[in-house]
Amino acid sequence: MYKWSEILSPEAMDKAKELLARAKAESAAGHTIYPPQDKIFNALTLTPPDAVKVVIIGQDPYHGPGQANGLAFSVNPGVTIPPSLRNIFKELHDDIGCPIPTNGDLTPWAERGVLLLNTSLTVERGKPTSHSGWGWQEFVLDVCQACTWLTQPIVFLLWGGHARAFTAGLQILSRTKNKCSICSSHPSPLGATKGGPGVPAFLGSRPFSQTNRFLEAHGADPVDWVLP
């Protein structure tokens, strides 16, 4: 097993250190930053490179108290499940019959090879997208680029225009035969039922069964999507 630090560019690692220091400085100055500092890189800690089967791209962490745990779309146990995640769970049930989870913690997915990456890894309390100009995207894009170079089959689940635009330069469909992207609208209530040209609505898009079929077709074990 190898670490992300062993396959990411030196520039990306320097950027990560710079932004972690900036988050610590903001906290020291009295700003409340989410997720907690020990969870900022939680997605990478829980899903090492050789374990990645799926990459899911979110935008930035939840900005309410106690919500963010460093995984895209995920919230801590006991926190009210946000609307987008409710729709993800609805599609999970409708697609492959999984019971609706009782909490919004996606840690089990991360431990099973689902890399849950936000394009910004921190946010200030009550201020959505407040750190989108910090430069997190440079680091996260390097992680995504590294995933396209890994040897195992990997599916990129791109939900919404932000995720599609963020990964547009990666050539996921054409780089190798064992990488693919599965796109749809965003699972938020505003977008979940609204498809567009070449992009189906999230609800009814069956991303979980599509992912497992691709993985199995390329000799990999499917993802166990069942959550507590």
Which single residue is written with the structure tokens 């460093």? 70
Q: What angle do CA 90, 94, 96 make, to 5 degrees?
A: 115
131 by Cβ neighbours in 10 Å (0-12 / 13-18 / 19+) ranks as: buried
CB 33 within 8 A of CB 27: yes
CB 112 within 8 A of CB 223: yes
**50 has catalytic annotation:** no
If you ran DSSP here, which 8-state letter would residue 44 be given? H
Q: What angle do CA 45, 212, 202 make, to 5 degrees?
A: 85
Q: Which member of 14, 38, 60, 94 is catalytic?
A: 60
Catalytic site positions: 60
